[in-house]
Structure 1
Amino acid sequence: MTLADATAGQPLEATWTDPKRYYWLMGLVIPAFPFLAWALVGATGWRVFWWSGAIVLYGLFPFIDHVIGKDSVNPPDSALAWLEQDRYYRWCTFLYIPLQYGGLVFGCALIASGRLDLVARIGMTITLGGVSGIGINTAHELGHKKESVERWLSKITLAQTCYGHFFIEHNRGHHVRVATPEDPASARLGESFWRFLPRTVFGSARNAWRLEAARLRRLDRSPWTFRNDVLNAWAMSVVLFAALAVAFGPGVLPYLVGQAIFGFCLLEVINYTEHYGLLRQRLDSGRLERCAPRHSWNSDNVASNVFLYHLQRHSDHHANPTRRYQALRHFEEAPELPTGYAGMIVMAYFPPVWFRVMDRRVLAAYQGDVTRANIQPSKRARLLARYGAGAEGVA
């Protein structure tokens, strides 16, 4: 039975099959990158493969997205509960974690072995950072769930990037303030990625601390306790890095710091992409309108979605944060990115290219009325002068 037949009203629970069911296992290729890099260098002698993470992320993935194209078909509504309870999909995310940490230990052993020159060590650092950065997406999937084991696995996954505060800020901060000027993880029209990056890194950490401090105050407790989920998450990173330094020598520490920075910057460039320029409006009551599909950029490129557990179906995620990745749906009314996240990441690194491609899409999303967008304050006068309210030339 095809997916098209399933959506035509035929019986679903017993007969509908997820056409991507076994494709989700492809996500486990990513944490295997350190092992694959070592194997490819050994097989070919080409030292460029130490940089496999960058080659795949910035070259192969955008190409595959372009070649394979999109899949906008949704699972039938009557199959959603069935999909949600199928534990197979959970194991596809659980298995990422031991592979991630196995690759980290293996990479540290290679770096400490003395057999790699500086360029190769930097390449391995970037490869490890690619794994840990995409691992933040695995942590994102787990951290939204209600089961305590999944939430703890989320924090463990984040330890490699020293980004454990993401667990707090994303769930209790970003999902409340998304697509508003107050949200450090929502990029503004006219804001380059390089300007967005320090704002979101420091703003997210500051907001996570504020949220945890407020929670503990309500319990009449000091924030300086290991019951503070920011502190205990950061402590996991300290213990991890210390253990690796003891095992492989303190010489691995600069490379551990490097891969962590690359990893969380990879998360933040995806954050930059997800809500760029989109704005929730204030109602007459003064409250924000409810987050809707139009407040997130979507992409239905199959390859990126398989590797990122449907992260690109971002509108449904914001509407239903606890919904599991396999059940996320495409919305026709959501604004669509021109390509998958892999290609958008590359584009974001070059602001003139990004603005040329994305600004007109933001304007089109608001029928040419730039005043309805989330505008970078320092660019507001310039953008209003250029487009005006109700500008027509946005195609």
Structure 2
Amino acid sequence: MDVVKVDSSSRRKEQYDGWRDPKRYFWLYGLVIPLSPFIGYFLVKYLKLGVFWASGALVIAVLCPLVDALARLDTRNPPERVMKALENDRYYRYCTYLYLPLQYAGLFFGCWCWVTQPMAGGERFAMAATLGIVGGVGINAAHELGHKRTTIERRLAKIALAQSFYGHFFVEHNHGHHVRVATPEDPATARMGESYWWFLPRTVFGSLRSAIRYEKARLGRRGKSFWNLRHNDILNAWVLSVVLYAVLIAVFGWSIAPWLVVQAVMAVMFLEGANYLEHYGLLRNKRPDGSYERVRPEHSWNSDHVCSNLFLYNLQRHSDHHANPQRRYQTLRSMPEAPQLPAGYAVLILTSLVPPLWRRLMDRRLVAHYNGDFSRINIQPGKRAALEARYG
């Protein structure tokens, strides 16, 4: 066994020309999230504290921000000479693949807890919050997988989305958001002066309409009906959710149905909280012909907080992701020229729930990014005069 390990290590060293990825095995920490229903069960069992049913939420809202605050920012990038080898290293794919069986194991276990464990209403909600975090980070895993060209990864993306009943994200994110990002036309780009609570319904329903429009057009070009279940990527993703929920209710009973809805809503709120902060107020310029300029790093907020990035597969290196959507998470680079967030996503998603706190934290930072030029900011209609008066 020792010989095999040495040979494997030697091959990897040769493959990367002497460079070693310092975070290689830390990516497995992200699997703490889908394991959080099990962790919560054992903490409640042995510590007798029902608050630990919310272990998934506690990891994201408490543990992750604490580690981010104590750890240094991670601005290191892989050297260019190893990018191809790093991109092709299948170990990193398996880290995301492994999320899915654990995600579904956690979901079934959480349903089992709802019907077998002595929980008060608040504790049931706490478990729904945990499963909502599992589903929300599952949407992020689907985001990583859905950008890839391999059939297996695209299918796995739909499976990851089934828990949250958000299958249209598979279509809209790739073909809508990435085309219109940092423009007023994009429902997933938040505007300055727009609160999270105003943004949430706009992005949920706007993204759904956009996904349906795109899928109708795509199938129409192929001479197929929108209702073609086999080829419609929205409908067949939704069918997975219907089947999943039907199986869960058949196994555990109708009493879990309201909590399945709650966890799905919380998963979507978590995802859209990330969307809210990723492009807040940022705007691409228009060319003389009226089209928008190419997406550049400065059109996405960037964050190099290490723990949040480990849990979210480098989602916070969002500037490089939009500049290079096909790039795998382990090769995404820190972009110093991009606007930088003051904290990791975990802290900022919670901050966005309190609009005055969010505005106090982010609006001056946004204005400074554009050197006080309000014509370059994506502003909520009707708010321009008030915002210019406040920050001008």
TM-score by length of 1: 0.94
1:211 maps to what in 2? 214
2:257 maps to what in 1? 253
- Give the alignment partner of residue 63 of structure 1, picking from 43, 47, 66: 66
In 2, Cα distance between equivalents of 1:315 and 1:380: 26
Q: 1:372 to 1:108 in 2, by over 3 A?
A: same
Give the counterpart letter for 1:14 in structure 2. D
Range moving further from structure 2, 45-54 or 298-307: 45-54
2:153 maps to what in 1? 150
* Structure 1 unaligned regions, length at least 5: 1-10
Q: In the alignment, is residue 196 of structure 1 matched against residue 199 of structure 2? A: yes
In 2, Cα distance between equivalents of 1:99 and 1:164: 19
Residue 115 of structure 1: CA displacement? 2.5
Q: In the alignment, is residue 380 of structure 1 matched against residue 384 of structure 2? A: yes
2:166 maps to what in 1? 163
Contact 2:16 2:86 in 1 (8 A): no
2:7 maps to what in 1? none
Residue 378 of structure 1: CA displacement? 2.3
Contact 2:60 2:346 in 1 (8 A): yes
Contact 1:371 1:384 in 2 (8 A): no
Residue 54 of structure 1: CA displacement? 2.2
- Give the alignment partner of residue 281 of structure 1, picking from 263, 285, 288: 285
- Give the alignment partner of residue 172 of structure 1, picking from 168, 172, 175: 175
Give the counterpart letter for 1:352 in structure 2. P
1:316 maps to what in 2? 320
In 1, Cα distance between equivalents of 2:294 and 2:58: 40
Q: In the alignment, is residue 223 of structure 1 matched against residue 214 of structure 2? A: no
C-alpha distance after superposition, 1:40-77 (max 9, x if no partner): 01111111111112222222211111111311011001
1:365 maps to what in 2? 369
**1:282-301 matches, cutoff 5 A:** 282-301=286-305
Q: 1:12 to 1:89 in 2, by over 3 A?
A: closer
- Give the alignment partner of residue 51 of structure 2, picking from 48, 52, 74: 48
C-alpha distance after superposition, 1:136-178 (max 9, x if no partner): 1101000000100000000000000000100000000000000
Q: In the alignment, is residue 263 of structure 1 matched against residue 275 of structure 2? A: no
Aligned to 2:204, the other structure's residue is in SS state helix
Residue 309 of structure 1: CA displacement? 0.6
In 2, Cα distance between equivalents of 1:43 and 1:88: 35
In 1, Cα distance between equivalents of 2:334 and 2:17: 23
Contact 2:17 2:82 in 1 (8 A): no
Residue 331 of structure 1: CA displacement? 1.2
Residue 12 of structure 1: CA displacement? 8.5
- Give the alignment partner of residue 139 of structure 2, picking from 136, 146, 153: 136
- Give the alignment partner of residue 100 of structure 2, picking from 97, 108, 115: 97
Residue 114 of structure 1: CA displacement? 5.3
In 2, Cα distance between equivalents of 1:124 and 1:94: 24
In 2, Cα distance between equivalents of 1:128 and 1:317: 27
In 1, Cα distance between equivalents of 2:24 and 2:56: 25
TM-score by length of 2: 0.95
Q: 1:64 to 1:382 in 2, by over 3 A?
A: same
In 1, Cα distance between equivalents of 2:290 and 2:349: 35
Q: How many aligned positions are there?
A: 378
Cα RMSD of the aligned pairs, angstroms, is 1.2
1:126 maps to what in 2? 129
Aligned to 1:200, the other structure's residue is in SS state helix
Give the counterpart letter for 2:120 in structure 1. D
Aligned to 2:277, the other structure's residue is in SS state helix
1:272 maps to what in 2? 276
* Structure 2 unaligned regions, length at least 5: 1-13
In 2, Cα distance between equivalents of 1:325 and 1:256: 30
C-alpha distance after superposition, 1:179-206 (max 9, x if no partner): 0000000000010001000000111111
Q: In the alignment, is residue 333 of structure 1 matched against residue 337 of structure 2? A: yes
Give the counterpart letter for 2:21 in structure 1. D
Contact 1:187 1:196 in 2 (8 A): yes
2:111 maps to what in 1? 108
In 1, Cα distance between equivalents of 2:44 and 2:69: 28
Contact 1:160 1:240 in 2 (8 A): yes
Aligned to 1:95, the other structure's residue is in SS state helix
Contact 1:12 1:78 in 2 (8 A): no
2:79 maps to what in 1? 76
Give the counterpart letter for 1:263 in structure 2. A
C-alpha distance after superposition, 1:335-384 (max 9, x if no partner): 00001111111111111111011011111111111121000002122123
Residue 323 of structure 1: CA displacement? 0.4
Q: In the alignment, is residue 28 of structure 1 matched against residue 31 of structure 2? A: yes
Give the counterpart letter for 2:357 in structure 1. V
1:5 maps to what in 2? none
